[in-house]
Amino acid sequence: DTGVSQNPRHKITKRGQNVTFRCDPISEHNRLYWYRQTLGQGPEFLTYFQNEAQLEKSRLLSDRFSAERPKGSFSTLEIQRTEQGDSAMYLCASSIRQQTYEQYFGPGTRLTVT
């Protein structure tokens, strides 16, 4: 049973460029989450999908951010016109409706905006 995978693991981009990250959840998991983690902080919730439907978005997700999960499997997170403040670790997690509700995280994509 493979875990959550994320690509790329690292991304360095210049300010103003667009970037896209991919997340592949655990195969039978219908729920997928995106979080952002800045240095010295815990992860902060960005958005959540149940199958292909985006059911919740944080106010942290500005209009420069968009997330999709077109076929209810993998998901992409795109950041347009990147800013230095977007530098962070972007974490993806997945879950399936279970008694304990735990979310399983991927290794993350570290974004550096120069």
Partner 1 sequence: AQKITQTQPGMFVQEKEAVTLDCTYDTSDQSYGLFWYKQPSSGEMIFLIYQGSYDEQNATEGRYSLNFQKARKSANLVISASQLGDSAMYFCAMREGLNFGNEKLTFGTGTRLTIIP
Which chain residues interact with partner 1 by CB under 8 A?
31, 33, 35, 40-45, 48, 50, 55-56, 58, 89, 91, 93, 100-108, 110
Q: Output phi, psi for 67, to 5 deg.
A: -130, 145
Q: Residue 52 carries which DSSP code?
A: T
Q: Which residues contact 89 (CB under 8 A, 6 or more apart)?
A: 36, 37, 38, 108, 109, 110, 111
Whichever of 78 and 102 has its CB closer to partner 1, that residue is 102
Would you say 58 or 80 has its CB closer to partner 1? 58
Comparison of 44 and 80: residue with beta carbon closer to partner 1: 44
Report, in Å, the least distance between residue 102 CB and partner 1: 5
Least distance (Å) between residue 85 CB and partner 1: 19
Q: Is 57 helix (H, G, I), strand (E, B) or coil?
A: strand
Find the radius of gyration of the CA atoms of the chain: 13
**Smallest distance from partner 1 to CB 103, Å:** 6
